[in-house]
Amino acid sequence: MFSKNKQILIVMGLILPFYSYAIESSQVEAKSSNNSYFYQQMSKLESTVGGRIGIAVYNTRNKETLSYRGNERFPFCSTGKVMTVAAILKASEKESDLLTKIIKYNKADTDKSAYAPITSKYVAKGMTISELSQAALDYSDNTAMNLLVAEAGGVGKITDYARSIGDEKFRLDRMEPELNTAIPADNRDTTTPLAMTMSLDKLAFGQSLESNSQAYLTKWLKANTTGDKRIRAGVPNSWIIGDKTGTGAYGTTNDIGIIWAAKCDPIVISIYYTQDQKDAKSNDSVIASATKVAIDALAKNDACLRNQLNLK
């Protein structure tokens, strides 16, 4: 039997890590609310369009982080494909021939996934892990996502990978297309804007992946074909964007990515938008508008961004 004092210490040991994480998260959220322009503009946008917007943006130049509903959970839909591909890339660092491994599948797999613009073309011969990763990120191919999750060992392994890089919020519970139900208050297949932004920064620029893996990830994000009306539409045309969109029920409209303004350091951003009605339509303009608000707010403390935007 443990003594009373030992029991107290054990309980405190269990509680303190969670308490510490909560304090850290609230401090990041508080920092965002100190920027009155950003908070007011995001609140105004949300009131105009209805529904709920969550955004977190991180400037790698000066480490400024802004967020609105940054600690609230949102259904990530296909933005979760980034974490899945990252888990595969991490595994490939120990298994040198993993990316060239050919995965066989059948028409039942493509039919079940509900969206297979690339994998449906190669049912006869299969696709390599690298090709599936590119299909998942650049074309949001659901069959590719499911095959990658299976290769990783199941949905729990993707969540485990998120935990391994310090992300305590991301959770993958289901395969495509079920993960897109986006039911309000359903925590399955959700994350928070702050968690996703910090994870994407770690994956692209931190130590979570080796340089070769990072090169693959950013190359595929930049080649995305589904995001022209979202983050990309909220910045000047000359800027380079690498992103991954997500769309689901309840009008859920998402985009996460990296923004490279000419001569400026990268900006990492995650935007989630969801509504109350199951049959609500997705709304690309919300993502574009939120992006513009975020960039304008960051520019207030970044001379490089101000110069690129021709702001005084």
Q: Report the C-alpha gap between 43 and 127 in whole angstroms.
A: 45
> Where are the extended beta strands (E) located within 40-148?
52-59, 65-68, 74-75, 102-103, 127-128
Q: Is residue 106 exposed (0-12), middle (13-18) or buried (19+ Cβ within 10 Å)? A: exposed
Q: Which pLDDT score, from 0 to 100, does residue 33 have?
A: 42
% of residues, the chain, pLDDT over 70: 89
- State CA 104 to chain mean position distance: 28
Tally of CB atoms within 10 A around 251: 22
CB 156 within 8 A of CB 164: no
Catalytic residue, chosen from 25, 67, 78, 270, is 78
Q: Which pLDDT score, from 0 to 100, does residue 36 have?
A: 80
Q: 207: Cβ–Cβ under 8 A, 6 or more apart, which residues?
A: none
CB 142 within 8 A of CB 176: yes
Residue 76, both tokens? 């990530």
Residue 177, both tokens? 């297309």
CB 116 within 8 A of CB 142: yes
| pLDDT tens profile 61-80 | 999 999 999 999 999 999 99
Place of tokens 């977190």: 56
| pLDDT tens profile 174-203 | 999 999 999 999 999 999 999 999 999 999
SS3 content of the chain, % helix, strand, coil (to 5): 50, 15, 35
- In single-letter form, the type of residue at position 165 comes to I
Q: Which pLDDT score, from 0 to 100, does residue 312 have?
A: 75
Q: Which pLDDT score, from 0 to 100, does residue 137 have?
A: 99
Task: Examine the residue annotation and report whether 78 is marked as an active-site residue of this protein.
Answer: yes
Q: Which pLDDT score, from 0 to 100, does residue 37 have?
A: 86
Q: Report the C-alpha gap between 287 and 255 in whole angstroms.
A: 7
CB 125 within 8 A of CB 116: no
Q: Report the C-alpha gap between 73 and 187 in whole angstroms.
A: 7
Which structural domains are found in the chain, ordered by start?
37-309 (3.40.710.10)
Question: What are the average pLDDT values for consecutive 10-residue runs of the chain, which has 312 residues?
Answer: 40 39 39 69 98 98 96 99 99 98 99 99 99 99 99 99 99 99 99 99 99 99 99 98 99 99 97 98 99 96 96 82
3-state secondary structure of 271: strand
Q: How many residues does the structure list for the chain?
A: 312
H or E segment at 242?
Answer: strand 240-247
Q: Which pLDDT score, from 0 to 100, does residue 29 have?
A: 45
